[in-house]
Amino acid sequence: MQNFLFSNLKVRSNIYKSLLLTLGLTYLQHSFAYDISYQQAEQQTLNTSYTTQASQHLQQAAQLNAEAVKHAGLPSVNLNVRAYSFRTEQNIPLTSVKNNINQSISQNLNSQISNVGSQLGINADAISQINQATDQNISDGINNLIPDQTNVVVKDHDIRPTISVIMPLYTGGLISSTKALAALQASRGAITVQQQEDNQRFEVIQNYFNVQLQRKLVDIAQFNANAMQKHVNNAIKLEQQGFISKGQRMQFEVAYNNSLRTLDNLQIQLQQSLFALQQLVKTQQPLNLTTALFINSSMSQPLTNIYNQLDNKSTLLRKMQMDTQLADQNIKIQRASQKPSLYAFGEYVIDNKENWVVGIAARYNLFSGIDHKKQVQAAELQRDASTFATERAKQELQNLIFKAYTTMEGAQHTQRLLQENMQAAQENLRIQSLSFKENMGTATQVVDAENMYHAMQAESAMNAYKYILALAALLQANGSIEQFPQYINQSNTIFIH
């Protein structure tokens, strides 16, 4: 008898502790929690997500790079200022100068001597001797006065401002390919931002409705614990009246303790789920989620329509197709490196002399140690690899969509069966409870009926969560996960309250 009273008091103590803990947690959660719908959680996450902000900054950087090369190919005008000082030394030969001077003086002087001699009646032999003597004297004098070479040293310093212009006339397609490459990278950055936002949406869906699932499971576990508590109280009374044995009463106590242990574990999982959601929406306040678990009773569109939209809507495929286009531009750039380039140039010296120069320059690389043909082949292989990877990704997305679509159909079918089975399970619980009170059934049968009913409620919640995840996966694979809120308030939506 003492053991019975001690056990009775212990059970009641556990019951009161569990009730106080549950009521306390519920009061604290709802006193300070603020309501947040799925749409609000999604928007708040997108506005504060570090991942989204990082991808947006990278996209803006790519856009600025595209704008930076937008006017590539126009003339490049530079202002140059050269301050310089120089010294140059050179030996200048003077032999030819000496010979020219000697020849010129001798010819002129000999001509004048001949004219004067003729006028004075001097014979030709005397005049010839005079000319020879004169030539020798002139040659000796020049050799003595002018050396065979001279050393010249020139020193100077100056500051020379100039304006130079260079304009590419032909680059083999390098400039146009560079512009196209930058524009494609900017477009790819925009797709990356959308892809990151889609990933954030999927994460919000996963965490938001996981909290709803855990709360539903906690509610079911709490209801089950309360029901087990009533069974224990009734079993104690029936044992006191001699209708059931001590073993039957203890079966209820074991079931009740198991329900408390399950409740404790589920409450821990709920706290973990709530913390993960709070991290996503960047808040430390308790959250009261207002969007319940749901399931749509029918599919909104056939599978073939989703497949047909895949190429144009999937962010993954669009991004990979953009990678193929980038590879094409890389091929053009590599081919341009094999072609000659042509430039127009000009320079004007800013001084009073107004010196200037204009011209055209061509450049063609004959040898650089780099095999440009192999670079082109490598770029072509990269383009082909990107094409194959895109096709493989498309197959994987189709598999993912098919799996998600069939999972959704299975969840809808399961929901219809669960609705029917829960009615039967509830009726079975009522019958087993009456049978036990009339001593026509066992405690195990009542506990089993109770567990079956609550298990179906839990299965219904988990089935809805499975449907939601499959829907989110399908929409993300198809590039339309931003349409997820539309599925919440459809006419065929069934909420799991």
Pick from 313-327, 387-401, 437-451: least confident: 437-451
**pLDDT tens readout for residues 341-374:** 999 999 998 887 778 899 999 998 888 888 888 9
Q: Looking at per-residue confidence, does 4 or 156 come out higher? A: 156
pLDDT at 370: 85
Query: Which domains, and CATH codes, for the chain?
Result: 2-75+169-340+370-496 (1.20.1600.10), 95-146 (no CATH)
pLDDT number for residue 4: 39
Closest CA to 274 of 489, 266, 294: 266
Share of the chain above pLDDT 90, in %: 48
Mean pLDDT of all residues in 33-42 = 92
- pLDDT tens for each residue of 292-306: 999 999 998 899 999
Q: Is the pLDDT of residue 376 over 70?
A: yes
For residue 201, which of 311, 396, 49 has the smallest C-alpha distance? 49
Give strand pairing partners of 93: 149
Helices (H) and strands (E) in the chain, counts: 12, 8
Q: pTM for the complete prediction? A: 0.74
Alpha carbon separation from 430 to 190, 234, 420, 437 (Å, rounded):
60, 15, 16, 11
**pLDDT, average across residues 399-427:** 93
Percent over 70 (pLDDT), the chain: 93
pLDDT at position 14? 53
User: Residue 97 pLDDT more than 80?
Assistant: no
Whole-angstrom Cα distance, residue 233 to residue 228?
9
Predicted local confidence at residue 379, as pLDDT: 92
Distance CA 210, CA 67 (A): 44
